[in-house]
Structure 1
Amino acid sequence: MDRLFDRVIVRPPGKSYVNCVSTNPEHETIDVRLAKKQHREYVKILKEYGIDVIELEPLESHPDSVFVQDTAVVGVKSNVAVISRFGEPSRRGEEESIKEVLEKEGFEIKAIKAPGTLEGGDVLVTDQGIVFIGLSQRTNEEGISQFARYFPHVKVVAIPITKIFHLLSGVSYLRDKTVAISPQVVDVDYFRGFKLITIPEDELYANNMLYLGDKNVLIPEGYPKTKEKLRRAGFKPVEVDVSEFWKGDGGVTCLSSPFYTVL
């Protein structure tokens, strides 16, 4: 299998999800019942593509905790799990229960320490020995340098971003040195030597996609131009409705924390 992970952690949204941190104008219309249903469908798809899913209980004390990707970056090859320190202060504490799960899984735990901040949504892992990390509102230089010390066997490249919260909202790694990228929010110069699939500006949200292996790519439902671009590049788009997570400023990658086999 050519994907970067075979196992993930997920956590369904709790009732408190309506209070998540979001700049989306439709934030107030979040339907938790629908969000739970969409999350079940998301998990079902992951399992259908042979991914082992560790399912946790909702964490009502943390409205954003469904976006579990941000809590840690897990490396199977090195047996190291780096626990995030949130740049968004209201989310601090979410990572504690994830740390417990990863300890039980036998990973050596490393933590991003103050004044460093790093969120998983800023970490783009590739199978090329390079990890790109967004220097963002949520992840700072100190967090990136700590991460680089914890994973010395990979090259870490920081990419400044200002127009999106997380790097993975504007670029996704697929396979064979191929990335889907939105040039209006992420500088393509950092990806010289990679094959680029440029995502249309009016479908920016679709750039938060998850490569499932064997050319299958999980994308949010309702983005026909992106779907067509992926098809033309030889990929097989798999659609999932994540409307309620869009309202919470989250996407397809945010809903799972992968165990990266290449890290």
Structure 2
Amino acid sequence: MDRLFDTVIVRRPGENYKSCVSTNPEHRSIDVNLAKKQHKEYVKILKENGIEVIELEPLENHPDSVFVQDTAIVGVNSNLAVLSRFGEPSRRGEEESIKEVLKKEGFEIKHIKEPGTIEGGDVLVTDQGIVFVGLSQRTNTEGIKQLAQFFPNVKVVGVPISKIFHLLSGINYLGNKTVAISPHVVDTEYFKGFKFITIPEDELYANNMLYLGEKKVLLPEGYPKTEEKLRREGFKPVLANVSEFWKGDGGVTCLNLPFYKPL
């Protein structure tokens, strides 16, 4: 299997999900019951594609905790889980409950220490011995430096971003040295040597996609140009309705915490 992970953690949205941190103008119209249904469907898709899913209960005192990807960077090869230190202060504490789960799974736990910050949504893992990390509003130089020390067997490259708040909102790895990328928000210079599938500017949200292996790519419903582009490149789009997570500034990558095989 050519995907980067075989196991993920997910966390169901809580009743308080509507209070998450979001810049989306439709934030207030989040339908929590619909979000729960969409999340269930999302988990079903992952399982149908052979991914083992560890499902956690909602954290009612943390409205954003459904976006579990941000809490840690987990490496199977090194048996190491690096707990994030959130750049968004209201989310600090989410990583503590994940720590217990990761310990049970047998990972050695490391922490990003102050003044470092890093969030999982800024970390783009490849199987090419390189990990790209967004230097963003949420992840700083010190956080990237500490991450590189924890994973010395891969090259860690910082990528400055300013138009999106997480790197994975503008680029994702699709196996076989190929990335889906939105050049108007991510500088392509950092990814020389990779094959680019350029995502249309008016479909930026579709760039938050998840490679499921065997040419299958999970992406949000409603982005026909991106879907067509992927098909032309030999990929098989798998669609999920994640409208309620779009409203919370999240997407299909944010909803799972992968155990990365290359790390």
Residue 220 of structure 1 deviates from its aligned partner by 0.2
Separation (CA, whole Å) in 2 of partners of 1:149 and 1:190:
21
3-state SS of the aligned residue for 2:44?
helix
- Report runs of 4+ in structure 1 exceeding 4 Å deviation: none
Separation (CA, whole Å) in 2 of partners of 1:103 and 1:113:
19
Q: CA RMSD in A?
A: 0.3
Gaps of 5+ in 2: none
Which residue does the alignment assign to 2:167?
167
Separation (CA, whole Å) in 2 of partners of 1:175 and 1:3:
7
Q: Deviations over 1:71-129 (max 9, x none)?
A: 00100000000000000000000000001100111101011010000000000000000
Separation (CA, whole Å) in 1 of partners of 2:112 and 2:99:
12
Q: Deviations over 1:31-88 (max 9, x none)?
A: 0000000000000000000000000000000000000000001000000000000000
In structure 2, what residue type is equivalent to 1:194?
F
Separation (CA, whole Å) in 2 of partners of 1:75 and 1:56:
20
Percent identity between the two aligned chains: 80
In structure 2, what residue type is equivalent to 1:233?
E
Gaps of 5+ in 1: none
* TM-score normalised by L of structure 1: 1.00
Q: How many residues align?
A: 263
3-state SS of the aligned residue for 2:97?
helix
* TM-score normalised by L of structure 2: 1.00
Which residue does the alignment assign to 1:20?
20
Separation (CA, whole Å) in 2 of partners of 1:13 and 1:84:
20
Residue correspondence of structure 1 range 119-138 to structure 2 within 5 A: 119-138=119-138
Separation (CA, whole Å) in 1 of partners of 2:92 and 2:229:
38
Which residue does the alignment assign to 1:113?
113
3-state SS of the aligned residue for 2:9?
strand
In structure 2, what residue type is equivalent to 1:211?
Y
Separation (CA, whole Å) in 2 of partners of 1:151 and 1:125:
12
Which residue does the alignment assign to 2:154?
154
Structure 1 residue 207 corresponds to structure 2 residue 207: yes
Separation (CA, whole Å) in 2 of partners of 1:210 and 1:12:
18
